[in-house]
Amino acid sequence: MTIFPAIDLRGGRVVRLTEGRFDQEKSYGDDPLAVARGFADAGATWLHVVDLDGAKDPAKRQTALVARLVRASGLRIQTGGGIRTAAHVEALLARGAERVVIGSLAVTKPLLVARWLEKFGSEKLTLALDARADARGTFHLATAGWQETSALTAADLLVRFLPHGLRHVLCTDISRDGKLTGPNFALYAGLRARFPALQLQASGGVAALDDLRQLKSAHLAGAIIGRALYENRFTLAEALACA
């Protein structure tokens, strides 16, 4: 299982949001390059970067900063936020990003994203499933910075993209994001059972090393860790050892 330490960028700073809410921000410093180098020094091979400015306004995407993170850290970077056009994808790949994360657009413009999968290849795109449970416990996909909820479920979307070569998927239970309440193991188990060929990454809620051990036992391909690292619940070296 790959460990993805996470850096969320807002105004050039390292922050974390709770449930994706911009009014629930906590800052963890103004030097993302130093944070990335620290992750590399601890033994990480991958870095997950979210451009929050880009997610809110694609015109304010921090592509140049992502490029500096690539150069400064030497890590393989998976990044997203405000991706609306093929040119956005190309710009990040040209600047050294290993994979580009596509979220809302996969829900709102699936035919476009399907063409991107075929154009760029399955190793260059990661589909982000941001899920919110309804009153019956059914998880529907959120869009527009998690402000809107569609009628689609995660399974609906995955079935749609499998014929186009989809391989990498990350899934977030929005209710657990930034809360250190533990991952939604049942959600991931259900997706793994139905889509065993996909490389599924857990995102949101990791709070303890036992969470990582359980995710590995459930055969998750990756785990994205943010707040637990910044608040010293465990070290990155300990997390890597679990994986």
| Residues belonging to the active site | 8, 130
128: buried, middle or exposed (CB in 10 Å: 19+, 13-18, 0-12)?
Answer: buried
Give the whole-angstrom CA distance, residue 11 versus residue 52: 8
- Give the burial class of 232: count Cβ atoms within 10 A of its Cβ; 0-12 exposed, 13-18 middle, 19 or more buried: exposed
Say what angle helices 86-94 and 63-73 make with each other, to 10 degrees: 30
Q: What is the 3-class SS of 60-118, one letter each residue?
A: HCCHHHHHHHHHHHCCEEEEECCCCCHHHHHHHHHCCCCEEEECHHHHHCHHHHHHHHH
> Residue 209, Cβ neighbours under 10 Å: how many?
16
